[in-house]
Structure 1
Amino acid sequence: MIPQRGYWTVWWNGYRFIALTDPWTPLPLSLEPQKLGVYLDYEEGQLSFYNVETRSHIYTFTDMEFNPNEKLYPFFCTYSDTDLVLESPDPNPVSAAD
């Protein structure tokens, strides 16, 4: 599941936290989120992951190439017994200036 095959992924198992690039990019375990935010900037060709609770950046995949005639599909997978919950972003987020 690497970008060359159409997957832009972060992965953690409690011992290792990585961006699945080729080769893998190690990420600090301190960034491991309980709530993961995902932001796609289609025009810039970037996909970013954030820790929602701390509002901190985890990793951004850049130079993504999209075929405008093909659809993009999100793919979520967990390896735990807990439920996966998908939420829309807050329509009225608090800015850093507030």
Structure 2
Amino acid sequence: MKVTVYTKDGCQPCRATMRWLNERAIPFEEKYTGDPANLAEAKAFGYLGAPVVVFVPAPGESVSHWYGFRPDMLDVVAHAMGKTEKTKGAA
């Protein structure tokens, strides 16, 4: 399972998304859209806002993607990874 979060500077929804994932110890890769290659990847999903979140459950399975801070979609990721509870010490 793989989670990728495309972010930009000064993006509160980006920070909220990464905080949500970190609180549940869900590993993810952050890709900063200030890098033109990362920006092109994010735009390829059809979104102009940030963050763009991409969840790949397993090779060959359907990829889920969305933009913005979406706790409902993040819950789907958490359930798939078996990490629905906040980790000890998470704010």
- Shorter-chain TM range is under 0.3
TM-score (norm 2): 0.27
| Larger Cα-atom Rg | 1
The one of the two structures with greater contact order (alpha-carbon pairs below 8 A, sep at least 6) is 2
Query: How high is the TM-score relative to the length of structure 1?
Result: 0.26
Higher relative helix content? 2
